Amino acid sequence: MSKHVLSVGNCGFDNARLAQKLSAWFDVEVTTAADGRSALAMVRDRQFDLVLVNRVFDATAESGLDLIAQMKNSRELAAIPVMLISNFPEYQRKAEELGAMPGFGKQNLNAEAVKRLLSPYLADSKP
């Protein structure tokens, strides 16, 4: 059974890279949202196993940390696992302080460590 991932705020190129890498590792369906409003509507409407949030949204320049805070402050959405995608450790720390799971940077996407980081949320799919 496929897992469902929501990718928020990434450009088309990065969404394609994420979908390709996640699909190579796991049996996943990746859905995209360009902005926080769309993302919140989607997570309220559909069950996601993981939400991947870009630090700064490509289309709107919104803060991914703001979306994480909104989700984690919502009784309805707080239990959904969320990770920040950022190469900057200080933003990763802030995301974790807000309740996100430890995330990763785009430059590390191909690393085996990222696969291990994602496995608790997306495994039990492809061997």
- The model's pLDDT over 47-103, given as tens digits with 9 standing for 90+, comes to 999 999 999 999 999 999 999 999 999 999 999 999 999 999 999 999 999 999 999
What is the pLDDT, as a whole number, of residue 125?
43
pTM over 0.85: yes
Decide yes or no: CATH 3.40.50.2300 for domain 3-120. Answer: yes
Non-local (6+) Cβ contacts of 86 within 8 A are 54, 55, 64, 92, 95, 103, 105
Q: State what percent of residues in the chain have pLDDT above 70.
A: 98
Closest CA relative to residue 97, chosen from 57, 68, 58: 68
What is the pLDDT, as a whole number, of residue 33?
98
The one-character DSSP state at 60 is T
Q: Examine the pLDDT at 123 and tell me if it is beyond 90.
A: yes
Q: Examine the pLDDT at 127 and tell me if it is beyond 50.
A: no
User: CA-CA-CA-CA torsion for 71, 75, 76, 78, nearest 10 degrees?
Assistant: 40
Confidence of residue 13 (pLDDT cuts 50, 70, 90): very high
